[in-house]
Amino acid sequence: MNGLGGLNKSPNGVVLGLVQLQLPVIETRADVTRQAERIAAMVGKARRNMPGMDLVVFPEYALHGLSMDTRDEVTCSLDGPEVALWKAACREHGIWGCFSLMERNPGGYPYNSGIILDDKGELKLYYRKLHPWVPVEPWEPGNLGIPVIEGPKGAKIALIICHDGMFPEMAREAAYKGAEIMLRTAGYTAPIREAWRFTNQANAFQNLMVTANVCMCGSNGTFDSMGEAMVCNFDGSIIADGRNGRADEIVTAEVRPDLVREARAHWAVENNIYQFGHRGFTAVAGGAGDCPYTYMQDLVAGQYRLPWEDSVRFTDGTSCGFPKPTRRYGETYKDAAE
């Protein structure tokens, strides 16, 4: 059920619009400005397209294009003119919006960041990508965790970015913190198509959570982004998709956070998000609540190491033309030089 994409909106429904934005070419500051203006204009299109839409979602790289350019000239800040444009657009059109920017970072490489603004243009969610797509992406690893906010109609919403969704721990963390809808924005190209589909579905089903996912779309003359917007219900079924790959199409769906809450409370079998911390509750009171997972224990202890660790070939970005890093996580360039 998706209410015909939101045309027939129910009292408890939240209507999402996923923008399969045309992939731009960004080389100068003027390009960034033009693209920011185009995104703001698309906010208006979203509102005209679907008067009942609650949240419009733009993909990763919507502003930057599929460029790994780290120059200050093409990176942005939260208090910069690009975000100001988007705040004004959300306010003017009375709609929530999710946006992408490569955030300037004086202490290192830029962050790959995402924000959600409410219908008054106020910043409600601020996230930095935890898992850049190495070795291709040079972005600084995120340090803000996975925030969860109260969005339209009181829905609990999280945002992750692209490669983040390949790690089941990301969706589990979002759900553990209460997310009923998890957005996943991306710039993926066609080789990732199948993995994109089944991870979006698995993330939904394993956590009894709606996942709403969208990539950039079209060609920049070198890369072909795939669009592939898809909304997965909490049972893993796909209730809306943009498999036709049409650039600038806004794929819409109505989702029901109230039914997510109902499933989490009333499902017995396959209530995996609950059962993960209450193993075997039929046999033992309350279930087992220990942590039998070695990788979790080792990661917390700072001792994460694979049995095949020494055979891993790619451990930095030199294969993609980036210099071998000397900074440790948490250090700035200045710290590393001292």
Active site residues: 60, 129, 162
Exposure on the CB side of residue 41, measured as CA atoms within 13 A:
8
Query: What is the phi/psi pair of residue 54, to 5°?
Result: -100, -35
Q: Where are the alpha helices (DSSP H) in the chain?
A: 3-6, 29-49, 81-93, 168-176, 193-207, 257-266, 272-275, 294-300, 333-337
Pick from 22, 2, 21: which is nearest to 13 by CA?
A: 2
- Axis-axis angle for helices 168-176, 193-207 (nearest 10): 30
Query: What CA–CA distance (Å, rounded) separates 43 from 56?
Result: 7
Residue 255 · residue 212 · CB < 8 Å: yes
- Written as one string, the DSSP assignment of 79-127 is TSHHHHHHHHHHHHHT-EEEEEEEE--TTSSPEEEEEEE-TTS-EEEEE
Query: What CA–CA distance (Å, rounded) separates 9 from 11?
Result: 7
Query: What CA–CA distance (Å, rounded) separates 32 from 85?
Result: 12
Pick from 135, 195, 193, 187: which is nearest to 162 by CA?
A: 187
Specify the DSSP element, H or E, that contains 149.
strand 148-150
Distances (CA, A) of 319 to 81, 138, 224: 35, 12, 22
